[in-house]
Amino acid sequence: MKKVFLVMVSVFFLVSCQEQERSPIEVDMYNSDDDVIGTATLTEQSGGVKVQVSVEGLEPGLHGIHVHEFPKCDSPDFKSAGSHLNPQGKQHGLMHPEGAHLGDLPNIEAGEDGTVDIELTLSEATLMEGKNSLMKNEGTSLIIHEKQDDGVSQPAGDAGARVACGKITLSESNNPDSPTDPTESNEEEE
């Protein structure tokens, strides 16, 4: 009986360690000039993945934001990221009766200063193993579009060009050489 208990405790400990490695995941967001414009932090929670987006340098107004299939952010157009993440084969759009893609998120709004600081939830997604994992294969990417997602148009909500991209991968999250945010050390000169 003691051996069974020890095995169960060991398995629990190993699973807990794996979850800690996968959550939270810090994602650097890049514009089409390959400049870091902010971050997205993805955190596993019951019922989905919390996505905290903090970026600057966007045009004021609404922007579509989606998780895409591949962890690739080749500038300037970020088309290397593929289509929206859609393992269930649904239609695009949070307002579509036959939707939504797993990677569909509500629009974000950049203020007059071009900044966004918002918390979103990817319902049914996970950072762990499984059909709805954002980490399946090599990972995925987070894309911000130039315009708002209309919530129903196929295949991508008529949201326009891709203006920012970040790779959702374990290797990116654990990269100690991740670029620094130049705005963090801005000091006024006298």
Are the CB atoms for 65 and 142 separated by under 8 Å?
yes
- State residue 73 phi and psi, 5-degree precision: -135, 60
98 or 2, which is more confident?
Answer: 98
What's the whole-number average pLDDT of the chain? 79
Model pLDDT, residue 185 = 44
pLDDT exceeds 60 at position 147? yes
Closest-CA residue to 48 (of 130, 127, 139, 108): 127
Tokens of 19: 């979850």
DSSP character at residue 147: S
Model pLDDT, residue 101 = 72
Confidence at 172, pLDDT banded by 50, 70, 90 = low
Taken in order of first residue, the domains within the chain and their CATH numbers are 23-176 (2.60.40.200)
Mean pLDDT is lowest, of 21-25, 117-121, 179-183, for: 179-183
Q: Per-residue pLDDT tens for 42-73?
A: 999 988 999 999 999 999 999 999 999 999 99
Model pLDDT, residue 92 = 66
Closest-CA residue to 30 (of 22, 15, 42, 40): 40
pTM: 0.78
DSSP character at residue 7: H
